[in-house]
Amino acid sequence: MRALRDNSLTLVLLLPFLLFTVSILGHALTGWRVETADALRHGRAGGALLDYLGSPAFLATVFENRESEFCKGRPISS
């Protein structure tokens, strides 16, 4: 119990980082599987995961997802 109390700030700061990492990893794997399935459906070979991570498709979906979460519930003023 003492170790938990002594390292509580580290644990609290580490939790959001771990959640973000798991979220991005899940997003990358799911997007890669969808992209590969789409390529196979159109008769093309699916790409490697590292190729997908550097692709504009992955970066666009990450930023669109983050943008939608950031803007959720906030009125847009003109």
Closest Cα to residue 35, out of 65, 15, 56, 8? 56
In the predicted structure, residue 15 carries a pLDDT above the cut 60: yes
In the predicted structure, residue 32 carries a pLDDT above the cut 90: yes
Look at 67 and 8; give whichever has higher pLDDT: 8
Share of the chain above pLDDT 90, in %: 35
pLDDT reported for residue 4: 82
pLDDT reported for residue 72: 64
pLDDT reported for residue 63: 81
